[in-house]
Amino acid sequence: MESKVLTQLNWRYACKKFDQQKRLSMDQLVVVKEAFNLTATSYGLQPLKMVMVQRQELKEKLVEATMNQQQVVQCSQVLVICIENILDKDFIDGYFDLIRNVRQTAENILAPFQAHMVKELGDMTQQQRIQWMTKQAYIALGNVLAACAMEGIDACPMEGFYPDQYVNILGLNELGLTPVLVVPIGYRAQDDAFASFAKVRRGIDQVVITL
């Protein structure tokens, strides 16, 4: 008997056309937000934010900035997964303040870990920090796509967009963010031919090596 997880992962695909008349419920959007927030990140630092675009006039402006891919205007919401522009000691200190508040962890345990993280990230160049944060964004993407599939929400992950245009349209500089990935979400259109295509994947023995 196939598991529900595998059933839904087989159901999902990169939606090429959304039903413009159907919108996600508030409860569904809460699940998507929580799934993003619960994603694994290195050190648990969460150097990411997700911008959820639902205003139609903004979505219309994003079409050209997304290489004229129509999903961004058809969908219910456009998720824009972003990384922080500044990842510094203050950001790390804020994370450890949160740990102290939530877990009440002893200072003698936290202090060495905090110092280690400040040094590790401080020794990186800005480009290295960007690359490191971008990897975290892709982890979050996988989590969001899986959560959407489990909830019966269609999605289309996209790398094909102009980041500078997204920054200008959404005012991301003011938020201290750089866009990395775009994910329109909603419901597939009944006439999206891609929905009925057989999923093409290599065999398990070709992609999983057991030692």
Tens digits of residue pLDDT in 158-199: 999 999 999 999 999 999 999 999 999 999 999 999 999 999
How far apart are alpha carbons 51 and 76 in whole angstroms?
14
Q: What is the pLDDT of residue 1?
A: 64
Task: State which CATH number among 3.20.20.70, 3.40.50.2300, 3.40.109.10, 3.30.420.40 fits the domain covering 4-85+127-207.
Answer: 3.40.109.10
Give residue 67's region: left, alpha or beta (phi > 0; psi -120 to 50).
left
**How many other C-beta atoms lie within 10 A of the C-beta of residue 197?**
10
Structural domain boundaries of the chain? 4-85+127-207
Tens digits of residue pLDDT in 122-141: 999 999 999 999 999 999 99
pTM here is 0.96
Element (H, E) at 53: strand 48-53
Name residue, tokens 């219910």.
76
**How many other C-beta atoms lie within 10 A of the C-beta of residue 194?**
12
Spell 2-24 as b/e; 16+ CB within 10 A means b: eeeeeebeeebbebbbbbeeeeb
How far apart are alpha carbons 105 and 160 in whole angstroms?
43
Query: Going by DSSP bridges, is the β-strand pair 154-155/177-186 parallel, antiparallel, or unpaired?
Result: antiparallel
Assess contact for 52 and 82: CB atoms under 8 A.
no
Compute the Cα dihedral for 65, 67, 70, 75 and give only its sign.
negative
* Averaged pLDDT in 10-residue chunks for the chain of 211 residues: 90 98 98 98 97 98 98 98 97 96 92 95 97 98 98 98 98 98 98 95 96 96
The Cα angle at residue 77 between residues 74 and 79, in degrees rounded to 5: 120
- Taken as a whole, the chain contains a residue count of 211
Residue type for position 175: L
Q: Which has the closest alpha carbon to 24: 147, 186, 182?
A: 186
